[in-house]
Amino acid sequence: MAKIEPSIKSALTQYAVSNRGIFSYSQLAEFQHRFQLSAETLEALLLEVAATFATPPISQFYVGAIAWDDNAQQAFLGANLEFSHQALSLVVHAEQAAINNAWLNGAAEISKMTINAAPCGFCRQFMNELSTADALEILLPTGQTSLHELLPTSFGPDDLGNSEKLFAQHVSKSSMSGCPSNVSDNLYQHYLASYSPYTKNKSAVEIKLADGECFYGRYAENAAYNPSLSPLQSALSQLAMSGKNLFDVDLAQVTLLEKQGCANQKAVSLAVLASYGLADSLTHIEIE
């Protein structure tokens, strides 16, 4: 890629921070026209911008990814998120972060993924849970491929008799009557929209800052189990995509909402929060 003026990357980064890493296709077209960029150059720049949101205290490896939804005409950035002094299994991979960003913010499907490095096996398995997995395009610095080519003999939802897929799951239309008074409407709606076909543990997290700003996350299970994304990881990734982290913000409360009788997220949530010295901030609520 030809050398790009720092001011161009700065403008894209500022927009990404203000919009939590979400670009409409029309906004991207406007940036392309304003800065006289080719589509390929703009895409490469977006990957660089995505990688600036990474928090890799362990690997020092900055990874960016873009999830594209041609249906909603939007692009969603994501970056890897690591936790010091915690198990490596708790890391949020860039591909997970981009897909999570899309899922939480109204995307209808994932049409293709752009990544600045080949996806690891963990991420290939995570993407295999998508409703579009069979036709998913993967764009890499080395060229275009597909998830099917990267994961030719796959194990997925169908192998476990799960007819649901991530982005195509049934979302309950339950009324707010089942929601406790100390749970926000937004948290409850994310709880209902979580994806847990294997454990049936609907769960979601709300990170509330002292100024009232909130960040949400949902549980996203995977047929291979280990690549599942916890609701706290999901919410912390959203916090990171706004240019913030728990070390820098004035935290009011973290609320974990789970399904009674199926709850399985409290221990891992406490472990992650402990890495920030914030284990006492967790409020755990179970509902029927």
**Which amino acids are annotated catalytic?**
95
* Lookup: tokens for 155: 């194990």
CA gap 254, 281 in Å, rounded: 6
Tokens of 120: 């690891």
